[in-house]
């Protein structure tokens, strides 16, 4: 069964943190389009947040479209910081999903990506009872996390996020941890991996910070391609040791997976990976902004890629529109060095947006971390294949 992914922005781009590497903090066109706030501001435009009427419209049309196509439906609440909205908003979301459910339709799942600051016991109980999967942003050890992830007032946030994460674990909430690899975290793969692994998440997801062509002054916060390549190699060796111990124990040992490595193994086993950047081209999905505008990807919330409105347009027409088809078609175009690369089947060109957001002196158009992945695959490709073969046999 296929899957329809619907990303909603309940609080637009409003946030209670001021992360130095934040995408929204210098993409003014994105923030203004959503009615969101610059990260440096200490208030939020609540009148620009998603209304209950907009929420119900989104839920109903998404479920109708998913049922007609035989799809499961994933609702992904993101931001900004989605937990700035009260729990009442999310209770309504679940209520609308139940009210507009269709007999025989696919499964409905809910995800929330949060910085964790606003969570409390009521939140934890709700997330547990309604089977939400929570993604918690945590850059690891206190000094590493607090270097770039500060509150809107400039204060450290690690202690509070860690306490709230422990609370989620105690209440039985399923959660994953998302960590940004920057110029600091890239230097401590072993210490940070062990710290994050022991927090009890099912998955760890490491997101590399990529320099934006719009703001080279921030490049100092990004890892160098050389450092990132070594980071991947070391991280893989640590993860592989844990995986082999888990396999040797007959699966009885607890094991924290790393999403990227797992998806590489899926590719090698002839299965479909999860992330769109590993699927060779962009996938048809929906990003619903607070005002109801629909876009094909969170990186492409621009007037030129606006597909329509969830209020005034038919969702099937949006999904099959010429603009959506052009978005998907254009993502299949790869630079020549990608097409000629021996590692293309594993790398798959990476994220289309990242290929177009690199330094202008890289005229060929490959991603900023192209050399990092080549180094990693050349060093660890054989071990990856051995692991894939072992898993297939078992």
Residue 294, helix vs strand vs coil: strand
Give which of 153, 165, 114, 162 is closest to 137, Cα–Cα.
114
- Distance, CA of 8 to CA of 308 (rounded, Å): 15
Catalytic annotation, pick one of 64, 125, 146, 298:
298
Contacts of 240 (CB under 8 A, 6+ apart): 383, 387
Active-site residue flag, 298:
yes
Assess contact for 136 and 166: CB atoms under 8 A.
Answer: no
Residue 210 parent element (H or E): none
Give which of 60, 57, 54, 55 is closest to 102, Cα–Cα.
60
Torsion angles phi and psi, residue 176, rounded to 5: -115, 160
Torsion angles phi and psi, residue 318, rounded to 5: -65, -45
Assess contact for 171 and 213: CB atoms under 8 A.
Answer: no
Vertex 360: Cα angle to 354 and 361 (nearest 5): 120
Question: Helix 370-393 to helix 259-268 angle, to the nearest 10 degrees?
Answer: 60
Beta-bridge mates of residue 109: 74
- Distance, CA of 84 to CA of 117 (rounded, Å): 9
Q: Is 104 left (phi over 0), alpha (psi -120 to 50) or beta?
A: left
> Which residues are known to be catalytic?
298
């Amino acid at each position: 069964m296929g899957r329809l992914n619907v990303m909603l922005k309940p609080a637009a781009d409003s946030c209670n943190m001021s992360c130095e590497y934040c995408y929204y903090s210098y993409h003014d066109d994105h923030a203004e389009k959503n009615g969101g706030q610059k990260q440096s501001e200490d208030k939020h435009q609540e009148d620009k947040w998603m209304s209950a009427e907009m929420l119900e419209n989104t839920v109903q049309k998404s479920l109708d479209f998913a049922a007609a196509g035989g799809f499961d439906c994933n609702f992904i609440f993101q931001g900004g910081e989605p937990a700035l909205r009260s729990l009442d908003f999310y209770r309504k979301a679940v209520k609308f999903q139940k009210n507009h459910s269709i007999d025989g339709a696919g499964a409905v799942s809910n995800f929330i990506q949060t910085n964790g600051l606003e969570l409390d016991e009521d939140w934890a109980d709700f997330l547990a009872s309604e089977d939400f999967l929570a993604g918690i942003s945590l850059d690891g050890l206190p000094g590493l996390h607090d270097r770039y992830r500060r509150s809107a007032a400039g204060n450290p946030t690690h202690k509070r996020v860690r306490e709230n994460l422990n609370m989620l674990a105690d209440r039985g909430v399923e959660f994953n941890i998302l960590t940004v690899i920057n110029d600091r975290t890239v230097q401590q793969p072993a210490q940070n991996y062990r710290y994050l692994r022991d927090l009890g998440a099912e998955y760890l997801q490491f997101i590399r910070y990529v320099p934006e062509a719009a703001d080279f002054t921030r490049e100092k916060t990004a890892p160098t391609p050389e450092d990132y390549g070594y980071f991947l190699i070391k991280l893989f060796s640590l993860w592989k040791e844990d995986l082999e111990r888990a396999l040797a124990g007959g699966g009885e040992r607890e094991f924290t997976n790393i999403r990227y490595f797992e998806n590489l193994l899926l590719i090698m086993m002839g299965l479909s990976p999860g992330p769109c950047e590993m699927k060779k081209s962009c996938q048809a999905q929906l990003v619903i902004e607070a005002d109801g505008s629909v876009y094909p990807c969170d990186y492409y919330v621009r007037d030129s890629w606006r597909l329509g409105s969830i209020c005034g347009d038919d969702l099937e027409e949006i999904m099959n529109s010429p603009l959506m088809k052009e978005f998907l078609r254009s993502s299949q175009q790869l630079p020549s060095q990608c097409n000629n690369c021996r590692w293309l089947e594993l790398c798959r060109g990476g994220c289309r947006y990242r290929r177009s957001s690199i330094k202008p002196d890289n005229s060929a158009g490959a991603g900023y971390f192209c050399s990092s992945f080549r180094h990693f695959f050349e060093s660890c490709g054989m071990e990856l294949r051995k692991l894939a073969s072992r898993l297939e046999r078992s």
